[in-house]
Amino acid sequence: MTIPELKIGDLVARIPIIQGGMGIGISLSGLSSAVANQGGIGVIAAAMIGLHETDICSNFREANIRALRREIRKAREATEGILGVNIMVALTNFADMVRTSLEEGIDIIFSGAGLPLDLPKYLKDGFKTKLVPIVSSARAAKAICKRWLSKFDSLPDAFVVEGPLAGGHLGFSAEQLENPDFALEKLIPEVVEAVLPFQEDRKVDIPVIAAGGVYSGGDIHKFLRLGAAGVQMATRFVTTHECDADIRFKQSYLDARMEDLVIIKSPLGLLGRAIRNQFIEDVEGGKKKPFKCPYHCLIPCNVKDSPYCISLALVHAKRGTLKHGFAFAGQNAYRAEQIISVKELITSLLDEYTIAACGSIADCQQSMPRVLDSPWQGV
Ligand SMILES: Cc1cc2nc3c(=O)[nH]c(=O)nc-3n(C[C@H](O)[C@H](O)[C@H](O)COP(=O)(O)O)c2cc1C
């Protein structure tokens, strides 16, 4: 029972797993190349990628361009697999990040946190980069298809559909997060149906990818059966050796209990999911964390009224100084028990997928005895 490949245009990933982009230094060349080497799609996140550059405060634009270029090249040296860049629409340097990724010949650009309505305008003749919007509803997917068709005579190469259990900023209101009508299990068939007429009209494939709370091989099997062509997973990749965050960031996942995963109101006016800590409690209790903003990195950020700087808080978290920040995480983060390699993680996911696809362990034993020897069985 082999897992299907994921095809996005002429790109073929041997396994249908995309590692979700994790900004402010959590997914860089280390994690993305490790995932690509295992046959998945590795993704470098562009948000504040220049955080380690010495001139980040004085030369925000150039520092980020330089760092992105370097991370793409480093990842490319480490893998021949498929690499993407995640670029949030909300970034003030969105255009810089898109242009740099295209110049570096990145395979795929993933773009959410807003609707990437004008993304194709950057794609000049000869570029082969695939464009994949991240959406949270069938309505958004339809709006993007219509706009790209009318303005650019093109369609997205795929959609990532991010449901309410994801980590980081979320595309849902507090009521929607609680409403089962917005569960990823509902959204996937809706988006598949919404893009069907566009696919048929243009005779192209627009694979739909499920994201948000996908944790086990059984989950992957479930979403493929619901019509997804693949999954995007982020939280699961944080507790790997190759994840680019400080060990203390990863440890905060291992230490988290279910009740520690909380919804916060970000200074961007969006809700987000994070691991509760003293910093979050201070802010909830009305404490301000004074800061100077040298670069205004996120368009919707209301610098004047923000109780803290979200970029700075996330930079601290990435570096392991969680006292001055907090870790974004998906709802399933509390399930992590140990730090393993990307290879071990992918092997366990594939084994679990096989068991789910066989229907029962007994059936599986007959067709694939190796699965039952796996130390990861049941993880
Ligand atoms: C630490 C962290 C940082 C994230 N940063 C970004 C980001 O910069 N851009 C983005 O589009 N999504 C971001 N996300 C969302 C992920 O890419 C992904 O779609 C989502 O978390 C999937 O759900 P999962 O974490 O349950 O697997 C982030 C998620 C986490 C956990």
Q: Please give the pLDDT value at position 375.
A: 44
Give the span between the Cα atoms of 164 and 140, in whole angstroms.
15
Residue of 28, 159, 238, 328 to mutate, ligand 1, most atoms within 8 A of C-beta: 328
CA of 225 to the centre of ligand 1 (A): 23
pLDDT for 261-319, tens place per residue?
Answer: 999 999 888 999 999 999 999 999 988 887 888 788 888 888 888 889 999 999 999 99
- Closest C-alpha to ligand 1, atom 8: 23
pLDDT band at residue 365, thresholds of 50, 70 and 90?
low
- Closest C-alpha to ligand 1, atom 11: 112
State if pTM tops 0.85: yes
CA of 26 to the centre of ligand 1 (A): 10
Pocket of ligand 1 (CB under 6 A): 20-23, 26, 45, 47, 86, 88, 112-113, 134, 162, 165-168, 211-214, 232-236, 328-330, 332
Give the span between the Cα atoms of 112 and 132, in whole angstroms.
9
Using the predicted structure, report yes or no on whether residue 125 has a pLDDT greater than 50. Answer: yes
Q: Please give the pLDDT value at position 370.
A: 55
- Closest C-alpha to ligand 1, atom 20: 166
Which tokens sit at 280? 């979050």
Q: Please give the pLDDT value at position 57.
A: 87
Using the predicted structure, report yes or no on whether residue 175 has a pLDDT greater than 70. Answer: yes
Task: Tell me which residue of 15, 1, 17, 2 sits closest to 360, measured CA to CA.
Answer: 1
CA of 14 to the centre of ligand 1 (A): 22
Q: Please give the pLDDT value at position 66.
A: 98
Strand 168-170 and strand 208-211: the pairing is: unpaired
Ligand 1 atom, smallest distance to 213 CA: 26
Q: Please give the pLDDT value at position 378.
A: 40
CA of 330 to the centre of ligand 1 (A): 7
Strand 261-265 and strand 271-275: the pairing is: antiparallel
- Pair 48, 54: CB distance under 8 Å: no
Using the predicted structure, report yes or no on whether residue 87 has a pLDDT greater than 90. Answer: yes
Q: Please give the pLDDT value at position 300.
A: 85
CA of 152 to the centre of ligand 1 (A): 28
Kindly state the percentage of the chain with pLDDT values over 90.
84
Q: Please give the pLDDT value at position 379.
A: 35
Please give the average per-residue pLDDT across 100-125, as a whole number: 96
Sign of the C-alpha dihedral computed for residues 375, 220, 36 and 20 taken in this order = negative
Angle subtended at Cα 328 by Cα 326 and Cα 331, rounded to the nearest 5 degrees: 125
pLDDT for 198-245, tens place per residue?
Answer: 999 999 999 999 999 999 999 999 999 999 999 999 999 999 999 999
Using the predicted structure, report yes or no on whether residue 374 has a pLDDT greater than 50. Answer: no
Q: Please give the pLDDT value at position 61.
A: 95
Q: Please give the pLDDT value at position 107.
A: 98
Which tokens sit at 276? 């509760």
Mean pLDDT of the chain: 93
